[in-house]
Structure 1
């Protein structure tokens, strides 16, 4: 580590060309301000722009890079929200690295070269925000933190008593099925039960169409490794599930984002893309989409299937929330309309029962199941047997549907409570998108308020949520946030929303004239 500068005086004004750190590619789809902030971020963290360096004024840097001043303002705003730069009246904009980062540099000097490359490789594959959710999870472990970020069932909906009774009654007689090895493609009794339940939902599958997985993310990884080579393109919705973004990036895929509205993916825009590109597959969450909660309309589902058939492109349907619905009837899976075998259907028991069971499944044409089953055994010999056996027994005893009914009632009650709290405690001018199922609420912040800034402010109030930009592959989502209502206790939902409201008003007080009037909170129905 270098010696401290006397009195911590800032370095002289940075006179070299910023273009040495920022190479703008105007056709790559990433907003220019984001390219600038990422370039400067890397230069700061690498030490090329040391702590105390005075960056060029916005107007001067805009002229150097050939962009608008607003673009530089947004880039500096990004860096400021991460704590990497700080504005000082009379001294300009200074680089401000944390002591922790400087200490990390000191220890890195003694690491072998292959370890030093891990961080850079991770950022290149997963993106600069790959650590955000793990940081949120660390915060959630602190008891004083209210988390509206965690998308899991609450403790009182984890079926511990049901599982305990099943273990007490049957484990000794079923010890081989529950505690021994099972086939790579899954416990036969569970595969039969899954196929039967899917047929009840209109999907014509049999046991040979089912592959049991250790979580649906494993399914994404298996399909991706089987179908993708580095540099291949895949289509996703914007916004979409963060875990899928990270998986596809880790596999070296180039991601094409298709915008969504209140009817789901804009298949008219997808059709334009497919006319000139050849993606390897289309990834969609058509039912209670994560993060928006949207249900894709029937017309768009049919058009999507027609496009997939015409262009011979498979569709990965991720249906984690399809059985958590608040109306009288569950939406049918997209695969129920698939007569050509183009849909690879993924679902999981993590949201329906318990994530700790680590049991999910893939429903697909037999040749795909056979090939992926062979591929799966190179990564894990089989999915944990006891979790499969427990779920199979829950279904056999007709306990799963009763549990799901309780879960739907619980989550709908919590959603109503969250919406009422937003109406009560949040300033007007935002837009809320009430879902008809699932466990997430999507919200558009008032005016130009940024979710990343609000998260930083809300942390002072000991409450966390997930910022919208993490679900975007197009550099957008800065003004959106996702609130998960299933996991927290009811009293914590109200209190958490109240605390976020305090943080919002504090931000608005800094930026908004006192006489400005906001429009009411707008509720956008999800159909």
Structure 2
């Protein structure tokens, strides 16, 4: 028997009762084929139907659901047009991938590994959530879905008019600077402007301490290549930013999680890790952390710096949200307390200006900037010039501070709208953080409610959010969800939260009924 035939026989078959995933409401105005496709789409997005799994034949599924075969065929065709399933001769209809599915696109076993671009074992290194970031962007293309998943600025808050004026008034006079090659370190004018802006926030840096990047994640990768070898350990908050987990794992590092609470990383637990192990890096988002929204207290910040010096471990401070604060005065970066150059500071204009500009920066000691620039030019000769020039002009024309004032007020209103909607529509027993800045709400579900089950059922209500598991390095987070309030309008936020609350209440009601049934069954059991 050929190898491909053996592997084809080993494909997992969807053997669960279709009725457990597809519940048809024949009195609903929604066509039956749409109800079927919605339920399967939700199961794929939740990971209940995984890539490579074989779906029932159209005839078999139609018989089990009591519908016409054409109804199932139309449902399958809709999912196939979205790239979620595909028919294969001799193999049936197979799941490809869902909105938040993270396995490989291709399950064609005869495809050579080099064509997929995968080194041996790379899938295991990257982990099961390798695609979650790219697929967050894709959710925005589904117009009927209210997405609380992607933490990106909404289009109406992007400064298109100001940038249009900048381009119309200044581009023709800045052809070489805006459209030509620029130094690997970045435009001199931008580096000077960023250094001045950081000094206003209490960070003692100059332009030679600044390296312009194409995004914070590029900075994580460059620092990792510079400081890490395969097998090295990196300490990160638990939970933490998905992109950081992916980047460090792609470099062959092992990520050790230290729990976080309302005051940030538990530095008391960090000390025991540093004393027993030999990590090469500490990664933290001390201000409005993603996903929890927590900010590290001043006492813990000072203690963290003390531990870094004691155990000679540098800190990466990732600060995409520090200037998007809602209450009180602007928080200082951790690096403002750093007198020994242990903090490598990353930030980006993606959240506070426009992600499409692809401009971020690293602030670090001058020798490190010089060395990392050599690494950068191997992969990326220079960050795009026109984006750097546009940001430089935005800063030079004193537009940034006014823009940030507007953003803070709009995002604060959206945060408040989400918190109020949760209070109005959700059942008791929910634990929700109260972020003083940033984009995200972090929620612990009540009782034994699982996030994967909730996201699957909520998808049938046309609402999306993120489950907690991808933010953890230890496989936990089953009872947590992250909802981002930045992109949707306030009325969309309220409606999305209402739908999620309706779904939760239905699940809890069914769960309670099952528990009561189990209890009555136990009462009837004979005593031993």
Question: TM-score of the superposition, structure 2-length normalised?
Answer: 0.79
Cα separation, partners in 2 of 1:98 and 1:438, compared to 1, 3 Å = farther
Which shifted more, 284-293 or 110-119?
A: 110-119
Report how far residue 424 of structure 1 moved: 1.1
Residue 419 (1) aligns with residue 385 (2): no
Report how far residue 196 of structure 1 moved: 0.4
Distance 2:186 2:327 in 1: 32
Equivalence for 2:13 = 51
Mapping for residues 122-133 of structure 1, pairs under 5 Å: 122-133=122-133
Residue 83 (1) aligns with residue 77 (2): no
Which shifted more, 435-444 or 117-126?
A: 117-126
Report how far residue 506 of structure 1 moved: 2.1
- Structure 1 residue matching 2:339: 3-state secondary structure: coil
Equivalence for 2:150 = 150
Alignment check: 8 A CA contact 1:235 1:283 kept: yes
Distance 1:80 1:217 in 2: 26
Q: CA RMSD in A?
A: 2.9
Residue 338 (1) aligns with residue 300 (2): no
Mapping for residues 74-473 of structure 1, pairs under 5 Å: 82-83=48-49, 99-101=93-95, 108-115=108-115, 118=118, 121-473=121-473
Which shifted more, 416-425 or 121-130?
A: 121-130
Distance 1:105 1:244 in 2: 22
Cα separation, partners in 2 of 1:364 and 1:200, compared to 1, 3 Å = same
Alignment check: 8 A CA contact 2:430 2:443 kept: yes
Distance 2:173 2:149 in 1: 41
- Structure 1 residue matching 2:488: 3-state secondary structure: coil
- Structure 1 residue matching 2:378: 3-state secondary structure: coil
Give per-residue Cα distances to partners, 1:216-250, cap 9 Å, x unaligned. Answer: 10000000011111100000000000000000111
Residue 496 (1) aligns with residue 496 (2): yes
Cα separation, partners in 2 of 1:348 and 1:47, compared to 1, 3 Å = farther
Cα separation, partners in 2 of 1:106 and 1:371, compared to 1, 3 Å = closer
Cα separation, partners in 2 of 1:98 and 1:197, compared to 1, 3 Å = farther
Distance 2:162 2:96 in 1: 51
Distance 1:115 1:290 in 2: 34
Distance 2:136 2:362 in 1: 29
- Structure 2 residue matching 1:286: 3-state secondary structure: coil
Alignment check: 8 A CA contact 1:159 1:353 kept: yes
Give per-residue Cα distances to partners, 1:131-172, cap 9 Å, x unaligned. Answer: 344444433311101100111111111000000001111111
Distance 1:455 1:52 in 2: 20
Cα separation, partners in 2 of 1:301 and 1:107, compared to 1, 3 Å = closer
Give per-residue Cα distances to partners, 1:450-506, cap 9 Å, x unaligned. Answer: 111111111101110111111001111111111100111121111111111122122
Distance 1:407 1:106 in 2: 41
Which shifted more, 242-251 or 134-143?
A: 134-143
Give per-residue Cα distances to partners, 1:180-204, cap 9 Å, x unaligned. Answer: 1111101011101100010000000
Distance 1:102 1:138 in 2: 15
Distance 1:383 1:407 in 2: 26
Distance 2:105 2:294 in 1: 44
Cα separation, partners in 2 of 1:46 and 1:482, compared to 1, 3 Å = farther
Alignment check: 8 A CA contact 1:108 1:116 kept: no
Cα separation, partners in 2 of 1:198 and 1:469, compared to 1, 3 Å = same
Report how far residue 124 of structure 1 moved: 0.6
Distance 2:105 2:383 in 1: 40
Report how far residue 99 of structure 1 moved: 2.7
Report how far residue 121 of structure 1 moved: 3.7
Cα separation, partners in 2 of 1:106 and 1:326, compared to 1, 3 Å = closer
Alignment check: 8 A CA contact 2:46 2:452 kept: no
Report how far residue 128 of structure 1 moved: 1.3
Report how far residue 123 of structure 1 moved: 2.6
Distance 1:155 1:49 in 2: 42
Moved runs in structure 1, 4+ residues, more than 6 A? Answer: 77-80, 102-107
Distance 1:495 1:480 in 2: 20
Question: TM-score of the superposition, structure 1-length normalised?
Answer: 0.79
Alignment check: 8 A CA contact 1:240 1:290 kept: yes
- Structure 1 residue matching 2:173: 3-state secondary structure: coil
Alignment check: 8 A CA contact 1:81 1:453 kept: no
Equivalence for 1:17 = none
- Structure 2 residue matching 1:458: 3-state secondary structure: helix
Instruction: Give unpaired runs (5+ residues) of structure 2.
Output: 17-42, 56-90, 98-103, 517-528
Equivalent pairs counted in the alignment come to: 443
Report how far residue 52 of structure 1 moved: 7.0
Distance 2:127 2:397 in 1: 45
Cα separation, partners in 2 of 1:176 and 1:117, compared to 1, 3 Å = closer
Distance 2:158 2:116 in 1: 41
Distance 2:209 2:13 in 1: 58
Equivalence for 2:27 = none
Cα separation, partners in 2 of 1:464 and 1:49, compared to 1, 3 Å = same
Give per-residue Cα distances to partners, 1:242-290, cap 9 Å, x unaligned. Answer: 0000001111101110001111101111100111111011000000000
- Structure 2 residue matching 1:403: 3-state secondary structure: helix
Alignment check: 8 A CA contact 1:280 1:314 kept: yes
Which shifted more, 370-379 or 504-513?
A: 504-513
